[in-house]
Amino acid sequence: MNRRLLSRVLSSSLRRSPLPGSGPLRLTAGLSVCLLIGCSAPTPAPTLPAAPADFNVVSISATGVTLSWSPVGGALSYVLERKSGSAAFSLVRTLDGSATTTTDTVPNPGAYVYRLKVSTAAGESPYTLEVQATVGGAPQPGAPVLTTPTPTVGVSGTPERLILTGSVSDPDGDLKGVSVDWGDGTPSAAPALTSGSYAASHDYAAGGTFTVKVTATDAGGRSTTLPQTYAVTRFQDGSRAHFVLDNSGADLSGNKLSGTFAGSGCTAGAPDRYSLANRATVFNSSGSAACGAQVAGGMTTGNLALRVPFSLNFWIRPDAAKVGQNAWLVGQKGDAALAYVGSAHGRSGAAGKVSFALAGAGTGGGDLKITDPQALAGGQWTHYAAVVTASGSGTALTFYRNGQRLGTVNGGTFNFSTDNLWTVAEAGGGTTSGAGDLPFSGAFDDIRFYGRALAPYEVDALFRLDRFPKP
């Protein structure tokens, strides 16, 4: 449409009379153009970053001012500006996006005002609140000085607990207090100070990675903030089933997937790895002639309905007399996924060593498998964890021993039935009518199934801190 015709159409549209029964017709030129030639919705503007947090004066020397702030995710650069008296703000310097502190050497003694902003891929932030510093003349007190706190991430039975201990000093001796922002939206803690030292603890309601900020403030309002990042786990997160095996198949996850024991006389309570009586279960004791000859003890879980990703965690203590025998540890009926000693159901391994295998996940339809290079020690507790994840168009298996990664292998699609039950200590889950199928002779403790992939630090926490009941 040429410009003259478009002008006539717009003029006509703007002179039109209102429709009967309606108010005045207000048809703008912009709307007319959209009706004629079509308009697309505007692209939403990107969300600009917030001003950097915790911008403050750290210290003042005879010739300059040191300032600090908390890092901003995705920062490309920071711009620091200052002014003196009634003058306008001027640029001090542009800093790299990784900076969190800088020292400004001022041209003359006097009072100065500073402000800071950050640039990210989305644009520039607003300026921070202004901070003041006086250089020269009477010595100016500095802000409190914090040492990097010493963290304890998790304690036995409570991995979600973070404990921080540290110290703080103040140049002019008027320290007011310390606060700890735990980074999860809960109220900040205000730990007591004893001779400049403090201790604070917090139990997280969910696992994750948290930026914790410790702030020290003095009576003059000067403050210093020290941020640190910590990865915290919570054993209940994503738990599908938890069998503590205190001589029973009770599931403590809350999902009501308790297991069933079979093989009467070949299951019994046993001390756990903390020497607490009846907090573990021994299967197919080598001290019973019947076990492994006429009867085999084992357990069958409820329907776990696991899908990729998933994780399996367990502790075993093999009988010294039978540690070298082929044995079924934990696996799914149908052999889609199983942990075993030696060889099992056509799956190769190594005598006296634990393997974990996924059926049909390897190249050409073979197994995806990892074997522990270290042989089991009879009469000793050993921790294992297997983590199965999707990897591109295939599957990845990572296997751990005592919290340490043994390796990761990748393969094709995992042929996995979510309906098949899992069995423990005997391939069939226990029997009273024969020697059983690969019965394991020894104790089990704390078998955990997760419907998610455990991170390496979580596997390490399960090895170091898993304990039931809590001490």
Neighbours of 460 (CB within 10 A): 20
Which residue ranges make up each domain of the chain?
A: 1-15+26-40, 56-135, 145-232, 239-465
| CA 455 from centroid of its chain's CA atoms | 7
Q: Coil, helix or strand for 466?
A: coil
CA angle 457, 236, 166 (to 5 degrees): 50
pLDDT given at position 76: 97
Residue-level pLDDT, tens digit, the chain, 471 residues = 444 444 443 444 444 444 444 444 444 444 444 444 555 556 666 889 999 999 999 988 889 999 999 999 999 999 999 999 999 999 999 999 999 999 999 999 999 999 999 999 999 999 999 999 989 866 667 889 999 999 999 999 999 999 999 999 998 899 999 999 999 999 999 999 999 999 999 999 999 999 999 999 999 888 999 999 999 999 999 999 999 999 999 999 999 999 999 998 899 999 999 999 999 999 998 777 678 678 999 999 999 999 899 999 999 999 999 999 999 999 999 899 999 999 999 899 999 999 999 987 554 556 889 999 999 999 999 999 999 998 877 899 999 999 999 999 988 777 667 778 999 999 999 999 888 999 999 999 999 999 999 999 999 999 999 998 888
Residues with Cβ < 8 Å from 80, sequence gap 6 or more?
67, 91, 92, 93, 94, 95, 102, 104, 114, 115, 116
Q: What's at 229, amino acid-wise? A: T
What CATH number should be reported for the domain whose range is 239-465?
2.60.120.200
Residue 130, class by beta-carbon neighbours within 10 Å (0-12 exposed, 13-18 middle, 19+ buried)? Answer: middle
Angle between helical axes of 3-15 and 29-37 (0-180°, round to 10) = 120
Assigned token pair, 225 = 């903030």
Q: What is the DSSP annotation of 299-334?
A: EE-------SSEEEEEEEEE-GGGTTS-EEEEEETT
Would you state the pLDDT for residue 226? Answer: 94
Which numeric CATH code is attached to 145-232?
2.60.40.10
**CA-based end-to-end distance of the chain:** 82
Which residue, chain included where needed, has tokens 């903390």? 274
Q: Is the Cβ–Cβ distance between 163 and 152 less than 8 Å? A: yes
Neighbours of 231 (CB within 10 A): 14
User: Using CA atoms, how far apart are residues 425 and 445, in angstroms rounded to an integer?
Assistant: 12
Do strands 310-318 and 442-450 pair parallel, antiparallel, or not at all (unpaired)?
antiparallel
- Of 241, 244, 269, 246, whose CA–CA distance to 422 is shortest? 241
Which is it for strands 175-181 and 208-218: parallel, antiparallel or unpaired? antiparallel
Strands 197-203 and 158-169: what pairing? antiparallel
Q: pLDDT at position 22, please?
A: 45
Integer Cα distance of 212 and 305 in angstroms: 37
Residue 165: what pLDDT? 98
Distance CA 322, CA 379 (A): 10
Same fold? 56-135, 145-232: yes
pLDDT of residue 379: 96
Q: CA 74 to CA 79: how far, in whole Å?
A: 15
Categorise residue 374: left if φ over 0, alpha if ψ from -120 to 50, beta otherwise.
beta
CA of 259: how far to CAs of 250, 303, 339, 431, in Å?
A: 6, 9, 18, 15
Q: Which residues pair with 181 in a beta bridge?
A: 213
Alpha carbons 219 and 387: distance in angstroms, whole number: 52
For 393, the 3-state DSSP assignment is coil
Q: Which residues pair with 353 in a beta bridge?
A: none
CB 331 within 8 A of CB 345: no
56-135, CATH topology level: Immunoglobulin-like (2.60.40)
Cα 66 from Cα 149, distance rounded (Å):
22
d(CA 249, CA 246) in angstroms, rounded, equals 8
DSSP string, 331-387: EETTSSEEEEEEEETTEEEEEEEEEEEETT-SGGG--EEEE-SSPP-TTS-EEEEEE
CB 330 within 8 A of CB 313: no
CB within 8 A of 38, min separation 6: which ones? none
